[in-house]
Amino acid sequence: MLTYPPKHLAGKKKKGEFHPSRLIKKDSVWNLQSIENPRVQSLDRLAAHGIVPILAGTLIIWAGGPLETTIRGIGLVICLLWAWVSLANFFLAKRWRLFKKAIWFCAVAGVLACGCIWAMYSFLSQKLNDLQELTWDGIKIQAFSPPNSDLWFSEFEVKNEGPADIGDHQIVCEFNSFRAERGFGENNLFRIATWPRGTPLKRGSDAQTYACLEPMGREGWLGRLECADVTVLVNYELVNQEGIKKQKRLRFVADQQHGYVWHQQLVQLPGRLCDIPAVSQ
């Protein structure tokens, strides 16, 4: 004989009795607590798929060209999203309360996002450093003797063959040593600088010419310049990196023995390259 509980107790559960319906609604497709949920299983398949990290790694490692930073950024975002999906799948498999899973997921996901931002900053910083180095290598300095062989009126050409535009720049001529008809000097006795120029040196062989020794030669009180050992310095900053000062220096020597033609020498070469008469004590 079947018996039924009284009507006032029907549908009630005993105190302390566990019932899955209290935590899980199995008929809801949005219930992420259930591992059997098709949405959770889709996350699991996506996290376990190996093509995602392979694609992202390829974008990060093999990226090049003018869009290198953008492509690497896309690769990092793909890695971050894939890590978040894997992280969500990991925490959903835990038998924790939902708020505990959410707290742990947000904490770890935030750390991963900070790592992604740091990686992007590193890529951008490396890109800017490479741009500075390539521009430095691309700055060419040449010295030209005048037709009358008077070295005071020599011209120094600064050419930008680098990948970036040069903004404010200045050329400085330092005499390491020199010998003229009515005088001589050494140890950076004279330093002649042009005014800073705001006209940019465009990338791709844009050049400007300076006659930085001419002010001394125009006076004529030293006479003809017979030998000159000059270090030419170019102080500059890039158009897109204002405030970062850079300098390139080259050393040139010209004398009567070599037909008053300028020859490049090592900047670190010790001693004077122009014979200076001995000074009586």
List, as one string, the DSSP characters of 44-94.
HHHHH-THHHHHHHHHHHH--STTHHHHHHHHHHHHHHHHHHHHHHHHHTS
Indicate the pLDDT class of residue 30, thresholds 50, 70 and 90.
Answer: very low
Is the model's pLDDT at 48 over the cut of 70? no
Cα–Cα distance for residue pair 81/73, rounded to 1 Å = 12
φ, ψ at 133 (rounded to 5°): -65, -40
The answer to whether the CB of 72 falls within 8 A of the CB of 64 is no
Q: What is the pLDDT at residue 21?
A: 47
Is the model's pLDDT at 248 over the cut of 90? yes
Is the model's pLDDT at 19 over the cut of 90? no
pLDDT of 91-107, one tens digit each? 877 888 888 888 898 99
> Tokens 């063959």, residue?
161
Q: Which of 11-15, 62-66, 74-78 has the lowest mean pLDDT?
A: 11-15
Indicate the pLDDT class of residue 190, thresholds 50, 70 and 90.
Answer: low
Whether the model clears a pTM of 0.85, i.e. scores above it, the answer is no
